[in-house]
Structure 1
Amino acid sequence: MVGRTTYDYRGESAVVTGSTSGIGRGIAKAFAEADANVVVNARTADDVEETAAKLDELGEGRVIGVSADLSSPDTIDRLVDRSIDAFGEITVLVNNAAVWPEEESMVTASLEDWEAAMNVNVRAQFYASQRVARHMLERDLEGAIVNVTSQTGDRRTGGRGLYGTSKTAVNGLTWRMAHELAQEGIRMNAVSTDVTESRQLRYEAEQIAAAKSERTAEDVLEEWGDERPLGRLGQPRDVADAVLFLCSDAASYVVGTIVRVSGGGNLQ
């Protein structure tokens, strides 16, 4: 590799949704290591408290946990309000929380399946961004918002109908909301992931391995990594590095961009 990069987020306060495992935890960990104040979020209070306690040991900033089910606008309000109460202001929001519908067929999925996917994967990103943006405007803060999307949102085939549709919507949300917010000094961008080590990816690998007794989940994950041009699975830190860049002064002229953190998977 060429060059070295370090980030200093002292004095900044970052809210990372869906951050007790996988990609979200990796992003929260990176902010904590860069000395930011961090709000960890997930639905389960025990997971939130445990994660916050561990990450709080990493940097000079404070890390707190706020449990909230992002399918409900009321709990998003509580997440934002408690974050402001704790740190005085929010300068960074990372919309990472997502669900993966069991039923992915666009023909047989119910409206309940559709709503469950859209409420968390799209509506929550929009509403959380709206709430935090209003806060930034009231405090005259030039903050940063990053949405986490997926290569699935770019692809026109390959299943994952409801999830893929929700991520296509996140791409559109990023472009359109970024244009409006940029005029107020708030930068919105997105990172797009491919096969990245996470609880969901490992679950899918385990399901495939269970159907074929001669293979293990590790075999499946290794195969998926080998298929990417860079020849490996993505790691949460890969995505976190892109998020830290997009929220930093090094990206002060980057707006409405989807950074594809995919090991070249976006080229396939």
Structure 2
Amino acid sequence: MTGKTSYDFGGETAFVTGSTDGIGRGIATALAVAGADVAVNARSSGDVETTAEALDARGEGTVIGVAADVGDPDELRSAIETAIDAFGSLTLLVNNAARWPEENSMVEASLDDWDRTMAVNARAQFHATKLVARHMIDEGIEGCIVNHSSQTGDRRAGDRGLYGVSKTTVNGLTWRLANDLAPHGIRVNAVSTDVTESRQLRYEAEIEARERRATTAEVLDEWGGARPLGRLGHPEDIADGVLFLASDKAEYVTGTVLRISGGGNLE
């Protein structure tokens, strides 16, 4: 490694969807530690309150919890309005929330599963970005929006069809919104992840471990070892990418999908 980086987000205000666990919590934590005011989000009011209380002590900014199902347009609008009312403005939106479909096969997936998956993984990112971008434009804020994508969005085959389609959509949204918002000084980028420590990944590892009569730790170690860099991703790895894209060091970066995958994107 060469060089060391630290970030100061004092005075910045962020809304991070799906941020009480896993990658989202890692992003919210990093922003709080860097001094930002942060609104954490999940569907459960208990989860957001507990997370906000824990993260509020991590930095000099204020952390609040805003419960909402981002797949519901009215709840999402209300959540963003709550964050703006609490902080006075939003300078950063991180569209992290996602759901795993019940069936990834494009042949077996139902229309209801399509609707639910796209509502959270794609439509919510579009809707949240529109709402926050309008606020930024009206207030003259040259802010930043970071979407959460996935390596599955780049691949043309594999066993994550419906999820992959939703993330391909996220890539397209990132490019198109970046183009439309650039004249307003608003930058739109995405982070694309591969196998990263999370509740969903551990759940999948537990299933495979039972099938193979292995331990969950053994499965996770194998998955990480298959990456070119030889390990699983950590939420902190993704948070580092988000903080870079939201910082002044990336002021000439927009419309980029930053692949934070340990080389998994090379497959």
Match of 2:236 in 1: 237
Give how far 1:211 is off. 1.5
Aligned-residue offset at 1:45? 0.8
Unaligned runs of 5+ in 1: none
- Cα distance in structure 2, aligned partners of 1:11 and 1:37: 7
Residue 250 of structure 1 corresponds to: 249
Paired with 2:261 and 2:232, the residues of 1 have a C-alpha distance of: 9
Superposed CA deviations along residues 115-167 of structure 1, whole A, max 9, x for unmatched, are 01100000000000000000000100000000000000001111111100000
CA distance in 1 between partners of 2:148 and 2:189 (Å): 9
- State the partner residue of 1:25: 25
- Correspondence 1:61-210 to 2 at 5 A: 61-210=61-210
| Alpha-carbon displacement from aligned partner over 1:183-202 (angstroms, at most 9, x marks no partner) | 11000000000000001100
Cα-to-partner distance string for 1:182-238 (whole Å, 9 max, x where unaligned):
11100000000000000110010011112222x011111100000001000000000
* Worse-superposed segment, 101-110 or 178-187: 101-110
The one-letter code sitting in structure 2 at the alignment partner of 1:236 is P
Q: Is the 8 A contact 2:102 2:109 kept in 1?
A: no
One-letter amino acid of the counterpart of residue 238, structure 2: V
* 8 A Cα contact 2:15 2:38, kept in partner: yes
**Deviation sequence 1:94-135 (CA, Å, 0-9, x none):** 000000012111112111010011000000000000000000
| One-letter amino acid matched to 2:178 | A
State the alpha-carbon separation in 2 of the partners of residues 209 and 238 from structure 1. Answer: 25
* C-alpha distance in 2 between matches for 1:151 and 1:177: 20
What do residues 29-86 of structure 1 show as CA deviations (whole Å, max 9, x unaligned)? 0000000000000011111111110000000000000000011000111111000110
In structure 2, the gaps of 5 or more residues are: none
SS of the residue aligned with 1:169? helix
Secondary structure class of the residue paired with 1:75: helix
* Structure 1 residue aligned with 2:47: 47
Tell me the equivalent position of 1:224.
223
Query: Equivalents in 2 of 1:124, 1:56: separation in Å?
Result: 26
**Number of residues of Structure 1 aligned to a counterpart in Structure 2:** 267
Cα shift readout 1:221-260 (whole Å, capped 9, x = no counterpart): 1000000010000000000000000000000000100000
Secondary structure of the corresponding residue to residue 184 of structure 2 = coil
Cα distance between partner residues in 1 of 2:171 and 2:78: 26
Distance in 2, matches of 1:224 and 1:108, equals 26
Amino acid aligned to 1:35? G
SS at match of 2:69: coil
Please give the alpha-carbon distance, in whole angstroms, between the structure 2 residues aligned to 1:220 and 1:152: 20
| Secondary structure of the corresponding residue to residue 189 of structure 1 | strand
Q: Aligned letter for 1:25?
A: R
Q: 1:16 — aligned with what?
A: 16
Which secondary structure state, in structure 1, belongs to the residue aligned with residue 145 of structure 2?
Answer: strand
Q: Aligned partners of 1:151 and 1:42: how far apart in 2?
A: 24
Does the 8 Å CA contact 2:205/2:216 hold for their aligned counterparts? yes
Distance 2:20 2:189 in 1: 22
**What is the aligned partner in structure 1 of residue 262 from structure 2?**
263
Quick one: distance in 1 between partners of 2:6 and 2:105?
A: 43
The one-letter amino acid paired with 1:251 is A
Instruction: Check conservation: 2:68, 2:76, Cα contact below 8 A.
Output: yes
Aligned counterparts of 1:130 and 1:209: Cα–Cα separation in 2:
42
Separation of aligned partners in 2, 1:217 and 1:49: 30
